[in-house]
Structure 1
Amino acid sequence: MNLNHTHTGANVSGQTATSRAAFFNRLSGLTLAISLAYPITAIAEQESVNAQGESAVISSQSKQQEQAGGDIMVVTATRESKLRSELAESVSVQDKQEIEAVSPSHPAELLNRVAGVHINNLGGEGHMTSIRQPISTSGVYLFLEDGVPTRPTGFFNHNGLYEVNIPQAQRVEVTKGPGSALYGSDAIGGVINSVTQASPDEPSGRINLEGGSHGWKRGLFSGGTDINQDHGVSFQLNLTDSDGYRDESAYQRYSMTGRLDGYLSATTQYKLVAAYTDVDQSGVSSLEEDDYKNNPKKNKYHGDIGKRDVGAFRLTGEIATELSDVELLTFTPFYRHNNTEMMPSWMVTYDPNIRKTQFQSFGLLSKYRYDLTQGEIIAGVDIDHTISDYVEKQITVTKVGDIYTDYAETGRTHYDYDADQTSISPYLHGEWLPHDDWRLVAGLRYDYFRIDYSDNLDPSVPEREGRKAWLRPDSQTLNFNHLSPKLGAVYSYSGAQQVYANYRNAFRIPSIGQLFRSGSTVNTTDLKPVESDSFEIGFRGELSNSFDYDVTLYHMLVKNKVVSYIDGGDRKTTNAGKTEHQGIELSLFGEFNRQWSMNAAFTYSQQTYDEYQYIFSCYPPACVPPVVETRNYAGYDVGKAPDTIGNLAFQYQPDYVQGLALELEWEHLGEYYTDETNTSKYDGHDLLNFRLNYDITPDITVRGRIMNLADTRYSTYTSNQVGNPNISYRPGAPRSFYLGLDAKF
């Protein structure tokens, strides 16, 4: 069994200027190469989509160009189907055919095939995301279903993709970097949009039954039919049960999606989507180095320790009416209801508690499009009203050796508050075609948020017990606002080649938890939005009739990041952190011949602290006497930010065995520092995966896969607290086998 581990070493104070210069030298060379020859990268697939399946209406300009054939349709940018060649941004699309062939048991298995994207597996349905940002729990990503945020602003969950039924999606689109003017807070690192399956034109269905290692069992059921000439219905059901690949790490999942599509008149289309997911997941602990190397199945959380129970319901409608040949009016009302009850696993050792978060959202996305002779204008307003409550109770935990086995409530409630949030966000998006080869894009969005917070605990409840504190802000109303400009351009040349560039400003407001679950921090309600400025230039097109490519260079500055510091005896936070993120993303897809094909994705990035304060805490025996002070890590590399991410897959479909498709996939994650001090480093890892799909008949397919073929020991997340030399690891799954039968009718 191979081992990946960390090593320690001193940080070189002058490294940033040197490494940054080296980085730009590399980019200069790459840019020169791109300008002299077609680059070697591409997108994930080449299938155009049914307009009704993705959005009510295809934009008129896209209709005119759709006859060109091989271009890909994208729906995220404007919530309408547009040709990817019209977009001044880096977007990847994974279609239904790829999703079925990959048969992902976790979103990481699908999304990690995209350049610039890394999703980790935290030991069940959970995950963290890294798109132009470090691997973290930060709310810098926007998760969508059919273009509608799955959660309201301020309620980001880094595990949020487990609330979406990705294995049964029609397609998944990833916008890397900030979103367009149609999207507001959180769309900094990227936007992931899962598109539901439209109703079919005739009765049809699919059943996929799968079993595998570690007690894995899954059933995927889907079907649909036309009701009459104008209406149709479809449904998907996902039942998943697993014992988990570590001790006491079982989880279950139930997801259901129903969709109704149709025409109300010759000029009005509609869709109605209901989606529900329930996730019941055991807690999974990190391990220190000795257990990671010698007993990776070990889990320090048994029973209900670290548990998580999530219920997420969403109801979304869409009505699109063509007011004239050049006007389209779209209304998208939505409703969300979410319950999460959990014992935060990262707090079990120092502040154990159980908490329940509940929210309901009522919203409306309204959009008006007017087609110009050479362009279009889109104006809209997004409204979201969310009612939420949060309750956190103190518990004590029972520990046998180093295993946590049980818990009991103490009777103390740390927090009980309501936070009702209203957001109103008008925006304007315009596109102009000054010439057949040019497309200019500009957008402007204004977001306003009002949060009414009410502390429901009696003032007599103490906020401190000894050295521990659970400070509670006074009941109050907070307001946030932000103006986000967007600019872009696309130039088409030599037929199917494009150069695109953009500047985009993005932001995220502080989360409800950051503002009102203050812990030991005295001024959390003073926080302001985090902002980012992103610059991007890209090249995409066809190398030949068989290969497509996409190369993107980006530079992003994130400012007003939340940092902590010590003021006298108080712990405080402020918006003073700055980080810099830059890199190059390359992707390639194509066929060598009728039997062999490949897709490749590679990313090189450099992420540094420009200005970043952090509270350094170090206690005996590591530090005698103990040290608690504010430090600044300006010039250091951002922790948990891999320098390279790669994915390479070769597919083989032999002529001599009709219906057989084999794939060998290589996954690469580069090294990264495990904390802000740059003294410890995870070396990264490389994994091999194998997939087999065999069509017994046109409607019956056997699907098998072996994940982590070489049985490599690796960690999906490696970190340490600043001042603590002990590194924690999240062991990845060992070699795992899966076999399933897929039947269509």
Structure 2
Amino acid sequence: MLVPATASIGIRSASRTLRTPTWAAPRAPPPDSTSPTRGRSVAASAETARRMNARSRTVVNRTTARIPSDNVFMLELAALAVLSTSATALEEVVVTARRREERLVDVATSVSRRTPGELGRLDLTHHAESLNRVPGVFLQRGSGQESLLAIRSPVLTGAGACGAFLFLEDGFPLRPTGFCNVNELFETNTTQAAAIEVMRGPGSVVHGANAVHGVINVLTPSAADLAGMRLNAVFGADDFKSLGFALGDGRHAVHGLVRHDGGFRDDSEVTELKFNLAHDRELAGGELRWRAAATRLEQDTAGFIRGFDSYRDPVLRRSNPNPEAFRDAESLRMSTTWNRSDCANCDDEARLILRRSSMTFLQHFLLGKPLEKNAQTSAALGLARGRSLTREGWSWRAGVDVEWADTSLLEIQDGPTLEGSAFARSIRPAGRHYDYTVEVASIGGNASIEYRSDAWLWRTAVRADAIAYSYDNLMRDGNTAEDGIPCPGGCLYSRPADRNDSFSRLTPRVEVIRHVSKSQHVYAVLAEGFRPPEITELYRLQRNQSAVDLGAERMRSAEFGWRFAFGESPSPSLRGTLAVFRARKSDVILRDANGFNVIGGRTRHEGIEYELGWQALPRLRIDLGGTLARHRYDFSRAIEGGETIAAGLDIDTAPPQIHRLALSVQPHERIDLELDTRRVSAYYADAANLRQHPAQTALGARGRWRLTIDLALTLEVDNLTDRLHADRADFAQGDWRYFPARRRSAYLGLDWRSR
């Protein structure tokens, strides 16, 4: 079962147990300072963690468009805090929010960590299964492995949507700066990951560009964690089948899976292959981690179904208006990380990654249905050094990151446009629309200074980034057809002439943490995040726009948080986190009514997030998590598609409330069961706030039966009540569009392990 970060005991990191350098520690351990294994054996720690395992899911009341001022939950929480007569220390949790392992109570930001727990996996069919259990996250599934993401934000779409989030694997970005893809999480093996960490709000100074609304870090298992042999097979609805394996000797390991989903809609099957290598060893007074990952996706894509409430039609929801659509993608990564371990007063690190990815897909959502091919080859190097200062309790850390990438994009249409009006067809010619390469070079430096005492932690940090693009157009400049023939009034696709662009940004961060007691910790943080324009926003222009002058989007954020624990362990206890945030984003890049890429948008974001875990009985656990937030436009302007944005209106596809509830019970020492529910409130489907998609509640159940010490049977049932839901709904081009959700589906699995 998934373990909320506020409820984990003795959790090890993906690579090794927590090591707190002497230079970073106070003179004496703070009241809740506990080694992950101090005072108990590793086996005992694992058993305690097993008994506390649980996933975060959701329940809630019907939403309104703004945050309630008299929330009953807040009153109950305050009452619990006042009435509690005894407290227990917050359990030790290790996170990597600043690219190195540290206790959660020493991190001044909202971080949720999800681990496989008793069910043995983070997700079965899609990464949405794990991410949608995190407060502040709303991941809408598309067709197959596609998705659209929100982290303390509305669901973002368009060329730059992915640029607002930073996707990592073991702390390394999956893609180079400027070349993200909104679906790139399918290039990671989340199913067999050791953990997934979600950092909400602007990233720390080690992250740099793109960590605007949040960071998702997929942590791979250590070689020691994969010692022995494991096999896993799952079969389920719609011809779903998956086979996973892992093999290791403690220093070397290999794991992977092959997965096929026949899809519940016509012509929507997906086949995935994921393969990972790991090697861990001691080298030159430090710990060396070497990782390699390869993925391949072959997907037949199903498009939107159209018409109001069409997702409720049992026949229409299984149809596919775009049977010709597909997406093929490959990725390859190789990385190594070295951390010094022979110096108690040092924090030295060296990191290197080599990446390659390519993708080909049919843009079935565009008139003419052009084909896109994109690819990138890139490398990144990072160095960091930390030391204590002469004054006790003070320390500093500094680092530098450099990155190089060679990227390319080709868009080509193999025949005339047959859809739309005569004018729409005339401006979308056959042949190449875009064909260019862009070389990317970036450098970023960061520095921080902190002070630690028994009760306080102060940290001030700053990062400077410089990013350069060198664009080379491989076809005719301008907006003619490929052969130079002009379209009436100009073709839709416009190609700027060769050019160079550069962007730079300074991002500060100030954090303070107060260790009130061994069971209560409060923090405050002021931070800024930014993203440079994506390559496609600069060089994939339309209509008569021949060049752009775009700057970096930036967001300033303030957050206050409280981590707490009440009750005497191991008797019934309550643990949780509460965070309040407010953010302002400016220089938002958008496409105006003329089809031009421009800057000048502004948005506002504020809300409350909570995460609670209550061990009601020795074999019964209740977990709650949720978000109450509002995301609004802070400017007025006519935009593409005939819509008009007005300041003060809610941004479309931004549910003001999302809540989760999970009940985990162990009726027998060999049986673990979980029942969870998630409710997403109604949200606006258009910028004018004239149309709403209704609230939805989904119920799921999971179970694991350990037949022997090495063999277990698993069962997962999604959409237990067989409701007709939509994974995504929006109103565009004068009509409703939906991605229907799968109806009740069951999956039966068998896990075997040789020790």
TM-score (norm 1): 0.86
SS at match of 2:224: coil
Change (3 A) 1:123 1:597: same
Give the conservation status (yes or no) of the 8 Å contact 1:284–1:300. yes
Change (3 A) 1:463 1:358: farther
2:739 corresponds in structure 1 to 730
After TM superposition, give the deviation of residue 726 of structure 1 in Å.
Answer: 1.1
Q: 1:422 aligns with which of 420, 441, 448?
A: 441
Q: 1:413 aligns with which of 432, 445, 450?
A: 432
Q: Percent identity?
A: 26
1:234 corresponds in structure 2 to 253
2:84 corresponds in structure 1 to none
Q: 2:470 aligns with which of 452, 458, 472?
A: 452
Change (3 A) 1:89 1:59: farther
After TM superposition, give the deviation of residue 616 of structure 1 in Å.
Answer: 5.7
After TM superposition, give the deviation of residue 631 of structure 1 in Å.
Answer: 4.0
With 445-454 and 675-684 compared, the bigger mean Cα shift is at 675-684
SS at match of 2:141: coil
Aligned counterparts of 2:641 and 2:562: Cα–Cα separation in 1: 46
Map of 1:499-514 to 2, 5 A cutoff? 499-514=522-537
Change (3 A) 1:201 1:343: closer
Equivalent residue letter for 1:316:
S
SS at match of 1:713: coil
Confirm or deny that 1:562 pairs with 2:589: yes
Change (3 A) 1:351 1:554: farther
Aligned counterparts of 1:364 and 1:171: Cα–Cα separation in 2: 24
2:78 corresponds in structure 1 to none
Confirm or deny that 1:679 pairs with 2:684: no
Aligned counterparts of 1:57 and 1:366: Cα–Cα separation in 2: 19
Deviations 1:473-501, CA, capped at 9 Å, x for gaps: 11011000111001111101121210111
SS at match of 1:128: strand
Confirm or deny that 1:358 pairs with 2:385: no
Equivalent residue letter for 1:475:
D
Which runs of 4 or more aligned residues in structure 1 lie more than 6 Å from their structure 2 counterparts after TM superposition? Answer: 397-401
After TM superposition, give the deviation of residue 293 of structure 1 in Å.
Answer: 2.3
**Structure 2 residue ranges without an equivalent (≥5):** 39-89, 421-427
Map of 1:255-654 to 2, 5 A cutoff? 255-265=274-284, 267-288=285-306, 289=308, 291-294=310-313, 295-302=316-323, 305-322=324-341, 324-347=343-366, 350-372=367-389, 373-396=392-415, 412-433=431-452, 435-459=453-477, 461-462=483-484, 464-466=486-488, 468-520=491-543, 522=545, 525-544=548-567, 545=569, 546-566=573-593, 571-615=595-639, 617=641, 631-654=644-667
Q: 1:85 aligns with which of 102, 105, 124?
A: 105
Q: 1:709 aligns with which of 720, 730, 736?
A: 720
Map of 1:648-663 to 2, 5 A cutoff? 648-654=661-667, 657-663=668-674
Aligned counterparts of 2:106 and 2:714: Cα–Cα separation in 1: 36
1:621 corresponds in structure 2 to none
After TM superposition, give the deviation of residue 284 of structure 1 in Å.
Answer: 1.4
Aligned counterparts of 1:365 and 1:505: Cα–Cα separation in 2: 21
SS at match of 2:617: coil
RMSD: 2.4
1:694 corresponds in structure 2 to 705
Count matched residues.
Answer: 669
SS at match of 2:337: strand
Change (3 A) 1:553 1:698: same
Deviations 1:517-573, CA, capped at 9 Å, x for gaps: 11226155311111100110011121223321100000011110013335xxx5433
Deviations 1:142-191, CA, capped at 9 Å, x for gaps: 11000111111111211121111001001111101111000111111110
Change (3 A) 1:560 1:504: same
Aligned counterparts of 2:499 and 2:448: Cα–Cα separation in 1: 35
Equivalent residue letter for 2:168:
L
Deviations 1:672-714, CA, capped at 9 Å, x for gaps: 1111111111112100001111111122111101100011111
Equivalent residue letter for 2:691:
S
Give the conservation status (yes or no) of the 8 Å contact 1:43–1:550. no
Aligned counterparts of 2:711 and 2:639: Cα–Cα separation in 1: 58
Change (3 A) 1:663 1:102: farther
After TM superposition, give the deviation of residue 323 of structure 1 in Å.
Answer: 7.0
The structure in which a higher percent of residues are strand is 1
Aligned counterparts of 1:584 and 1:97: Cα–Cα separation in 2: 27
Equivalent residue letter for 2:256:
L
Map of 1:69-218 to 2, 5 A cutoff? 71-97=91-117, 100=120, 103-137=123-157, 138=161, 139-200=163-224, 203-218=227-242
Deviations 1:102-159, CA, capped at 9 Å, x for gaps: 5432111111111111212213111111111111231211110001111111112111
Change (3 A) 1:455 1:177: same
After TM superposition, give the deviation of residue 291 of structure 1 in Å.
Answer: 3.7
Aligned counterparts of 2:702 and 2:542: Cα–Cα separation in 1: 47
Give the conservation status (yes or no) of the 8 Å contact 2:106–2:513. yes
Equivalent residue letter for 1:501:
A
Aligned counterparts of 2:117 and 2:25: Cα–Cα separation in 1: 23
Deviations 1:59-99, CA, capped at 9 Å, x for gaps: 44469634376634434322211000101111111123166
Aligned counterparts of 1:178 and 1:271: Cα–Cα separation in 2: 27
Give the conservation status (yes or no) of the 8 Å contact 1:643–1:670. yes
With 520-529 and 365-374 compared, the bigger mean Cα shift is at 520-529
Deviations 1:14-66, CA, capped at 9 Å, x for gaps: xxxxxxxxxxxxxxxxxxxxxxxxxxx97464043446715895444469634
Aligned counterparts of 2:226 and 2:200: Cα–Cα separation in 1: 36
After TM superposition, give the deviation of residue 400 of structure 1 in Å.
Answer: 12
TM-score (norm 2): 0.85
Equivalent residue letter for 1:645:
I
Deviations 1:216-269, CA, capped at 9 Å, x for gaps: 00011112113xxxxx1112111100111111100110001101000014x221
Equivalent residue letter for 1:90:
S
